Amino acid sequence: MCGIIGVTGRASAVDDILSGLRRLEYRGYDSSGVVAVTSDRLGVVKRSGKLDRLSEALGTDVLTGSTGIGHTRWATHGAPTDDNAHPHLDPTGRVAVVHNGIIENYRLLRAELDGAAFASETDTEVVAHLVARELDAVDGPDLLEAVRRVLGRLEGAYALCVLSADEPDTIVVARQQAPLIVAAIDGVGLCASDVAALIEYTDTCAALLDGQIARVRPGSYEVFDRNGDPAQAEEFTVDWDLSAAEKQGYEHFMLKEIHEQPIAVAETLLGRDDGAGRIVLDELRIDPAELARIDKVFILAAGTSLHAGMAGKIAIEHWAGIPVEVEVASEFRYRDPIVTDRTLVIAISQSGETIDTIAAADHARAQGAPVVAISNVVGSTLTRSADAVLYTRAGPEIAVASTKAFTTQIVACLVLALYLAQRKDRAFASEVSDVLARLDELPGLIRRVVEDDTAIRAAAERFKDVGYTMFIGRHAGLPIAYEGALKLKEVSYLHAEAFPAGEMKHGPIALIEPGSLVVAVAHDGHVFSKMVSNIQEVRARGASVLAIGTESSRAALEAHADVVITVPDAPHELATPVLTVLPLQLYAYYVAVLRGADVDQPRNLAKTVTVE
Ligand code: F6R
């Protein structure tokens, strides 16, 4: 969750850290802080609240130095106060630490530091104490060795950056189940949670692997394993530039990212057909013959990615004829799922760093299942451990509420479904080429929806104060009902829930009363008439209905719903969710703006969930 960055070898290190933190703020934003080496001592400034408070404090509380580390926090241990904000120092103020993750045995470690005074309630502070004690020992080791010794005592997940006043141009970093990258450019050493923070300086980075530790100095970094032997981190190049991580005139990242969907979907589809009707995956470290034997698929994901997986299930079962279970990643490894070497796991994660999804995929792999990752971040933890990768080439997604990642994930699922159909000999090359060619119409259709949002704004204006909204859908409309409800609740804080429309009569319809709002996702297709019946049932009980449909279903919907918003007919029914979700993304956005909510950084959330 939290974002961390370190810079050494630049006179403007503190400014650089602040601007890096701005790009990392989506990882957590309840407090932030920076520490720099100033004349052989550590100077710290930290504040609870948004980064602007830190920025203001740095304006008055001037901090300079060419080496420093910074942090933006999503609180786990201890409330979001100034004291609990990172960096944390040892009692003498010579060692500073920033941390993303959870040190699970911190209470035990604190107890062992008998009598030591702690300035915060965090799990992190104990690390600074322990490193300082190692350094203070007679013949104490250097910072790298001191940190390495301390790591041997830590249990849990961490990306750590450690600074010592005694080695003023060195930052020591370590990784265990939380992302951490390092980079070196002319005379400058850098480290951060992810590339968004470093993109201003370089497009070439190296991702540390679990158990690795690195010493970052001006212009260089050295990587070691947990025994202190030299090791190799994984180098990778980022294919997006700084402008992709900026708002470019949009009021919010969320709106910008909604509007980027035509290009994001086009990029995700690009080059998938090798010209002979065979699908191309980005990385394939798995024998295609192995995939032909697959008799069961698990799709594992969280949140919005889970909803994309629900749309993926329908496509895989339809085209490839393989039974698919979609499962919340955080539940998967705590039961006894039946997994064999003929089970394929598809792990979907925008960030590729969601701990639950990574752990669930690892759990399945340990039982022999191959894993295909669908992810948006090259070099992320999930993509490195997976046996095959299909990238959603959506570019950086900064808004906490996921939009362009979702539509590209569905497109990736469609591509993967066709790939599996081929492996199973259930689709001819000509059929695959034909479907892919039809999917190429999607970007143009998406553009038509997002560029004319007048009706959606009007609906947001009309319903913005409705306290509870029920979303219903069937078949390919059901994942969109779930996603529409999630978008609305996370950005506007209004209560919203989704149900399969056919389940209404089994309980949820009891919630409907005059004044209720039901959003019905009812695209044209084989379940359309059943959706119309469900709409009539809720209207008969006094609910207002906002129907999301396709152009060919407009007339039929207008006879039954209070407000009808339609999208163009999709080039294939299974691609309909890519279009029907768009009005609901925009609806959630406008309701949130009208209610004055913090659209890009909703309360209590963080973009990348690296703790369980
Ligand atoms: C909602 C949202 C989250 C993420 C979820 C998984 O708008 O963004 O629900 O979808 O935290 O994140 P990834 O896809 O990075 O694994």
405 pLDDT above the threshold of 90: yes
Residue 279 is given by DSSP the state: B
Q: CA–CA separation, 5 vs 11, rounded Å?
A: 16
19 pLDDT above the threshold of 70: yes
Give the model confidence (pLDDT) of 550-595 as tens digits.
999 999 999 999 999 999 999 999 999 999 999 999 999 999 999 9
Query: Measured from the CB, is residue 254 less than 6 Å from ligand 1?
Result: no
Fold of 3-238: Glutamine Phosphoribosylpyrophosphate, subunit 1, domain 1 (3.60.20)
Pocket probe for ligand 1: among 353, 354, 612, the residue whose CB has the most ligand atoms within 8 Å is 354
Quote the pLDDT of residue 14.
Answer: 95
The ligand 1 atom at the shortest distance from the C-alpha of residue 609 is 11
The Å distance, Cα 490 to ligand 1 centre, comes to 11
* 3 state SS for 570-600: CCCHHHHHHHHHHHHHHHHHHHHHHCCCCCC
Give the model confidence (pLDDT) of 423-433 as tens digits.
999 888 888 88
Query: Measured from the CB, is residue 392 less than 6 Å from ligand 1?
Result: no
| Contacting residues for 43 by C-beta, under 8 A, at least 6 apart | 35, 36, 37, 63, 65
Give the DSSP H or E segment for 257.
helix 253-259
Listed by start position, the domains of the chain span 3-238, 245-440, 452-594
Query: Measured from the CB, is residue 350 less than 6 Å from ligand 1?
Result: yes
Query: Measured from the CB, is residue 212 less than 6 Å from ligand 1?
Result: no
Pocket probe for ligand 1: among 299, 304, 610, the residue whose CB has the most ligand atoms within 8 Å is 304
Query: Measured from the CB, is residue 375 less than 6 Å from ligand 1?
Result: no
Q: CA–CA separation, 456 vs 451, rounded Å?
A: 11
Q: What is the mean pLDDT of residues 66-94?
A: 92
- Backbone φ, ψ for residue 42 (5° rounding): -95, 130
- Sign of the C-alpha dihedral, residues 553, 440, 372, 582? negative
444 pLDDT above the threshold of 90: yes
Give the model confidence (pLDDT) of 265-297 as tens digits.
999 999 998 888 889 889 888 998 899 999 999
- Backbone φ, ψ for residue 32 (5° rounding): -155, 165
Q: Which CATH architecture has domain 245-440?
A: 3-Layer(aba) Sandwich (3.40)
pTM for the complete prediction? 0.84
Quote the pLDDT of residue 61.
Answer: 63
Q: What is the mean pLDDT of residues 50-74?
A: 90
Q: Do domains 245-440 and 452-594 have the same CATH topology?
A: yes
Q: What is the mean pLDDT of residues 65-75?
A: 92
At 50, list the tokens.
């948004």
Q: Whose CA is nearest to atom 8 of ligand 1?
A: 402
498 pLDDT above the threshold of 90: yes
Residue 30 is given by DSSP the state: S
Query: Measured from the CB, is residue 176 less than 6 Å from ligand 1?
Result: no
Q: Give CA separation, 92 vs 32, 169, 211, 382, in Å.
A: 22, 19, 28, 39
The Å distance, Cα 114 to ligand 1 centre, comes to 41
**Residue 544's pLDDT band (boundaries 50, 70, 90)?**
very high
Pocket probe for ligand 1: among 1, 305, 589, the residue whose CB has the most ligand atoms within 8 Å is 305
The Å distance, Cα 400 to ligand 1 centre, comes to 8
- Backbone φ, ψ for residue 394 (5° rounding): -90, -10
Give the model confidence (pLDDT) of 339-370 as tens digits.
999 999 999 999 999 999 999 999 999 999 99
Q: CA–CA separation, 591 vs 250, rounded Å?
A: 17
Give the model confidence (pLDDT) of 106-141 as tens digits.
999 999 998 899 999 999 999 999 999 999 887 778
Name the average pLDDT for the chain: 93
**% of the chain residues with pLDDT over 70:** 100
Query: Measured from the CB, is residue 401 less than 6 Å from ligand 1?
Result: yes
CA 412 to chain CA centroid, Å, is: 16
Q: CA–CA separation, 382 vs 375, rounded Å?
A: 8
Fold of 452-594: Rossmann fold (3.40.50)
The ligand 1 atom at the shortest distance from the C-alpha of residue 409 is 14
- Known catalytic residue: 161? no
Quote the pLDDT of residue 585.
Answer: 98
Cβ-contact 555, 498 below 8 angstroms: no
Query: Measured from the CB, is residue 403 less than 6 Å from ligand 1?
Result: no
Strand partners, 68: 7, 36
- Known catalytic residue: 607? yes
The Å distance, Cα 402 to ligand 1 centre, comes to 6
The ligand 1 atom at the shortest distance from the C-alpha of residue 351 is 15
The Å distance, Cα 600 to ligand 1 centre, comes to 14
Hey, how many other C-beta atoms are within 10 angstroms of the C-beta on 526? 9
Q: What is the mean pLDDT of residues 160-176?
A: 96
Where do we find the tokens 């009309």? 462
The ligand 1 atom at the shortest distance from the C-alpha of residue 357 is 16
Cα–Cα nearest to 345, from 321, 368, 318 = 368
Angle at 81 between CA 76 and CA 85, to 5 degrees: 65
Quote the pLDDT of residue 36.
Answer: 96
Query: Measured from the CB, is residue 490 less than 6 Å from ligand 1?
Result: yes
Pocket probe for ligand 1: among 257, 258, 346, 402, the residue whose CB has the most ligand atoms within 8 Å is 402
Catalytic residue among 46, 256, 313, 607: 607
Q: What is the mean pLDDT of residues 602-610?
A: 82
Query: Measured from the CB, is residue 409 less than 6 Å from ligand 1?
Result: no
Catalytic residue among 2, 161, 191, 413: 2
- Backbone φ, ψ for residue 375 (5° rounding): -145, 160
Cβ-contact 393, 443 below 8 angstroms: no
Q: What is the mean pLDDT of residues 146-160?
A: 95
Of residues 245 and 503, the one with the higher pLDDT is 503
Cα–Cα nearest to 244, from 256, 236, 255 = 256
422 pLDDT above the threshold of 80: yes
**Is residue 168 reached through a cis peptide bond, with omega within 30 degrees of 0 on the bond before it?**
no
